Structure 1
Amino acid sequence: MSTLYEQLGGEEGISAVVDSFYDRVLADDRVAHFFEDTDMQQQRAHQTQFLSSVAGGPVTYSGEEMDEAHDHLDIHQEHFEVIAELLEETMVEFDVDEDDRQAVLDAVAQYEDAIVQC
Structure 2
Amino acid sequence: MSQSELDLLDQLGGTDGIRRVVDEMYVRVLADPELTHFFEGVPIEKLARMQAEFIASITSGEIEYTGADLTRVHAGRGITRAHFSTFCGHLTDALEAKNVPSHAIHQVLGKLAMYSDKVTGSSNVDG
In 2, Cα distance between equivalents of 1:77 and 1:10: 29
Matched, 1:54 2:58: yes
The question of 1:15 aligning with 2:19 is answered: yes
Tell me which moved more, 73-82 or 57-66.
57-66
Matched, 1:113 2:117: yes
TM-score under structure 1 length normalisation: 0.94
Alignment match, 2:72 = 68
Worse-superposed segment, 108-117 or 14-23: 108-117
Is 2:32 aligned against 1:28? yes
> What amino acid does structure 1 have at the position aligned with 2:53?
Q
Runs (4+) off by over 3 Å: none
CA root-mean-square deviation: 1.2
The number of equivalent residue pairs is 118
TM-score, normalised to structure 2, is: 0.88
Matched, 1:104 2:104: no
Q: What do the CA deviations read for 1:18-71 (whole angstroms, capped 9, x no partner)?
A: 000000000000101100110011000000100010011631001111111100
Structure number with bigger Rg: 2
TM-superposed deviation, 1:117 = 2.8
* Distance across 2 between alignment mates of 1:54 and 1:87: 14
- Structure 2 unaligned runs (5+)? 123-127
Amino acid at match of 1:59: I
How many Å separate the matches in 1 of 2:10 and 2:76? 34
* Matched-pair contact (CA < 8 Å) for 1:49–1:60: yes
